Amino acid sequence: MLSSKVDELLNFIDSCAPPSGSAAGAGTQAETAPSGIQSECLQALNSQGISYDSINHAAVMTSNEHSKVAGHLSGALCKNLFMKKKKKRFLVVFEHSKQLDLKALGKAVGANDWRQGSDLEAVLKVKGGCVTPLAIMNDEQKLTQVYLDASLKNAPKLNLHPCVNTSTISITPADLEKFVASYDMELKYVDFPSKAGGAAPAKPATKAPQQQKQQKKQKKQQKQQQKKQKGKPNQKDNKDGMQYTRAEDFGEWYSDLVVKSKLIDYTDISGCYVLRPASFYIWERIKEYMDARFCKLGVKNAYFPLFVSEAALMKEKDHVEGFTPEVAWVTRSGSSDLAVPIAVRPTSETIMYPLYAKWIRSHQDLPLRLNQWCNVVRWEFKNPTPFLRTREFLWQEGHTAFENEEQAMEEVYQILDIYADTYREICAVPTIKGRKTELEKFPGGTMTTTVEAYVPGSGRAIQGATSHCLGQNFGKMFKINFEKVGADGKNEKCIPWQNSWGFTTRSIGVMIMNHSDDKGLVVPPKVAETQVVIIPILYKREEQNKTILAMANEMADSLISAGVRVYVDDGPKKPGFKYNKYELQGIPLRLEVGPKDVAKRSTKFARRDNGEKGFISIENLGQQVVTMFEKMHEDMLAKATKNLYDNIVKCTTWEDFLAALAKGKIVICPSANTDEVEEDIKKRTKAHFDSADHDAKALSGKAKSLCIPFDQEKWGDVSKQKCIASGAPAKKWILYGKTY
């Protein structure tokens, strides 16, 4: 009974493609609805209009087993290998019966001595036996290059696993190319070399001594390298600690950090993460700060439903077009199809505004200023990243209505200031305030303001939060109007001016990326779940330990009285283990208590943010630590601010623009500020940075406009400049960069 109830629940919440005009109907669907990773794979195909045929079968682990259950299908039955060479990953796809010379292929693609990848599940999120080029959708760090045997290019169909080995789907090579390209990656065709006579050719015996000599040399070098690495904190076999550094591989470092520091954990649905207590505590502190600020403005909290009807969602065309690819649809309840599909909110305008039309009748009903703290779902398929780009996330969304434009615009900037203050005062992260270009503004709105942040080490900028003026567009669509007395003394109907604004759990990712280091998490004291850990240095003498523990508890009481969140770790682990553990978890301050400290009535401290160590008296300890936390926050903000402005480059030529982007900088440049110029910059930068002959260390992909900064005068007289892309007279200084 319990199992059937769980199945019903899973079927109910499984997000399907939009019901009308969907490509889902183009494929031959299985008799039972797919779930989990297979469902995500099929939804990704549907969302891109890719048709497919599918069959279900028993689980298969080898290409021979696969041939027995799917060999009758027309087209090419594909065999897939996942290979690695240093940080690069390769997905090799060829006809299952081909005897492939894997070593020769490695040389052909520039991966000499590659080997089978041991991190298949970590990179592509599929298990052995389920390898498929469709799993590229799960490669969050874009590590994998897909290679297909050139002989498959003209195949009528490619028969592949949809990320599970209990099903096979058939799609065209052209559709597979389209699928891979949709994740900003490229599928390459290469002539795969075959083994001679089904086996690799024997090597001349005369080379054996030389090979033995080379092997001995390699073993010697490996031993020397292992000796050098011994004892280093980021050694790869240190499973409990950080295994990557920021400089070595920023993406792997971040993925390692958020799990090892116990901020998040993964679920079996890609892009959906568990916020563990440490990260949820951070969100609660952010919420607490902003909620108090909203309240002072007269904003009230409410809650609106998770679901929106198709009719309401489709009511505002421009708004819906901006979210269509991300909308998750519920199409069935239990085993029954819903008569009318309903959408899971990607944002709540279309849920709330039909009610605003009921509630707003007179000018006395204005202003209407509501906010809700809730979750939303945006079913993104590109590179999910914890906190930064997730399918479900937490946020606040404010929706307000005013009599006139002046009142609405005043609030837009008030909210933007709150967002900038939250990043600065709570997260110790600086931001740049500005206005989005017309191409980047909120769909259906009049204008969008933003706070933009930078992540040092990644070379990427990130949108921190946005505050939008929606104008009267939504009022017209949802027939929201109010009566007031006009200049002639008669009642007239007017459409209110509306705003919407939102701040998300993305802020947590921005904060920890800015501050954390190779030892692990670093967070400002204001948002740390535990601010101080006290570590008693215990010995075998029981009487001595009693006095040490007594002072540790005395210190804890003093800190608690000052409002400090403290934990005394008197467990059996050695002090060195505890130091590493709490550095990894980002506890802002460590205090140690040993016999000498008891005698001196002092304690040794270690700051997590900068590693500073010293001794402080335990008299009035609480106030001393509070003062230290204030200094810690100031120091973290100052460091992050320096990192931000050290990485903004002013450029007035196209060549300098490209060079700065290649170095992982964000660029302030003169622009004609037209849609055509912006599209041209996206197209030209993508072509440049994705080209094969470009520096491999540079970030791939296009550069986007981040904002038109409010402080235009800071960068000089733009009227004297030419547009960096078109050569036309410049109108604005615009901030550009690679983004998450």
pLDDT tens profile 660-705: 999 999 999 999 999 999 999 999 999 888 764 554 445 667 899 9
pLDDT at residue 647 tops 80: yes
Task: Please state, in angstroms and rounded to a whole number, the distance separating the CA atoms of residues 95 and 187.
Answer: 16
In a domain, 120, yes or no: yes
pLDDT at residue 21 tops 70: no
Is-contact 346 380, C-beta < 8 A?
no
pLDDT at residue 52 tops 70: yes
Best CA proximity match to 93, nearest among 136, 47, 127: 136
- What is the structure's pLDDT at 260? 95
pLDDT at residue 382 tops 90: no
| Tens-digit pLDDT profile for residues 307-353 | 998 888 877 655 556 556 688 899 999 999 999 999 999 889 989 99
Residues contacting residue 480 through CB under 8 Å, at least 6 positions apart: 353, 356, 357, 360, 401, 474, 495, 496, 498
How many domains does one find in the chain? 4
Select from 464, 497, 515 the last residue of a domain. 515
- What is the structure's pLDDT at 35? 53
Same domain, 350 and 481: yes
Is-contact 403 366, C-beta < 8 A?
yes
Q: What is the CATH number of the domain that holds 543?
A: 3.40.50.800
pLDDT at residue 229 tops 80: no
Tell me the pLDDT band of 198, cut-offs 50, 70 and 90. Answer: very low
In a domain, 176, yes or no: yes
Quote the domain boundaries for residue 66.
34-198
pLDDT at residue 249 tops 50: yes
Tell me the pLDDT band of 381, cut-offs 50, 70 and 90. Answer: low
Tell me the pLDDT band of 210, cut-offs 50, 70 and 90. Answer: low
In a domain, 640, yes or no: no
- What is the structure's pLDDT at 237? 47
Best CA proximity match to 340, nearest among 329, 351, 352: 329
In a domain, 150, yes or no: yes
Q: Quick count: other Cβ atoms within 10 Å of Cβ 364?
A: 9
- What is the structure's pLDDT at 700? 63
pLDDT at residue 202 tops 50: no
pLDDT at residue 715 tops 60: yes
Same domain, 434 and 530: no
Strands 307-309 and 167-171: what pairing? unpaired
In sequence order, what are the beta bridge partners of 233?
Answer: none
Same domain, 532 and 496: no
- DSSP string across 265-322: EE-SSTT-EEE-HHHHHHHHHHHHHHHHHHHHHT-EE----SEEEHHHHTTSHHHHHH
Select from 515, 535, 569 the last residue of a domain. 515
Q: What is the CATH number of the domain that holds 693?
A: 3.30.110.30
pLDDT at residue 22 tops 70: no
pLDDT at residue 585 tops 60: yes
pLDDT at residue 3 tops 50: no
In a domain, 440, yes or no: yes
| Tens-digit pLDDT profile for residues 483-527 | 988 778 888 999 999 999 999 999 999 999 999 999 999 999 999
First to last CA, the chain: 44
Same domain, 497 and 538: no
Q: What is the CATH number of the domain that holds 87?
A: 3.90.960.10
pLDDT at residue 410 tops 90: yes
pLDDT at residue 469 tops 90: yes
Same domain, 66 and 188: yes
17-26, 496-505, 614-623: least confidently modelled range: 17-26
Same domain, 477 and 626: no
Helices then strands, counting H and E runs in the chain, come out as: 21, 31
Same domain, 367 and 511: yes
- What is the structure's pLDDT at 9? 36
Query: What's the rounded mean pLDDT across residues 545-565?
Result: 96
Same domain, 577 and 666: no
Helix axes 506-515, 250-260, angle to 10 degrees: 110
Same domain, 532 and 511: no
Q: What is the CATH number of the domain that holds 380?
A: 3.30.930.10
Q: Who has greater pLDDT, 31 or 652?
A: 652
198-212, 447-461, 559-573, 724-738: least confidently modelled range: 198-212
| Tens-digit pLDDT profile for residues 419-443 | 999 999 999 999 999 999 999 998 8
pLDDT at residue 1 tops 50: no
In a domain, 98, yes or no: yes
- What is the structure's pLDDT at 384? 82
pLDDT at residue 181 tops 60: yes
Task: Please state, in angstroms and rounded to a whole number, the distance separating the CA atoms of residues 469 and 709.
Answer: 17
- DSSP string across 131-192: --GGGGGG-TT--EEEEEEGGGTT-S-EEE-SSSTTEEEEE-HHHHHHHHHTTT--EEEE-P
Percent of the chain surpassing pLDDT 90: 65
Mean pLDDT of the chain: 87
Best CA proximity match to 508, nearest among 437, 453, 435: 453
Query: What's the rounded mean pLDDT across residues 261-284?
Result: 94
Query: What's the rounded mean pLDDT across residues 98-118?
Result: 86
Best CA proximity match to 609, nearest among 636, 585, 634: 636
- DSSP string across 625-658: HHHHHHHHHHHHHHHHHHHHHHTEEE--SHHHHH
- What is the structure's pLDDT at 107? 87
In sequence order, what are the beta bridge partners of 171?
Answer: 158
Helix axes 506-515, 277-297, angle to 10 degrees: 120
- What is the structure's pLDDT at 632? 98
Same domain, 494 and 376: yes
pLDDT at residue 147 tops 60: yes
In a domain, 225, yes or no: no
Same domain, 50 and 178: yes
pTM as predicted: 0.73
Q: Quick count: other Cβ atoms within 10 Å of Cβ 631?
A: 13
In a domain, 572, yes or no: yes
Select from 459, 494, 515 the last residue of a domain. 515
Same domain, 476 and 537: no
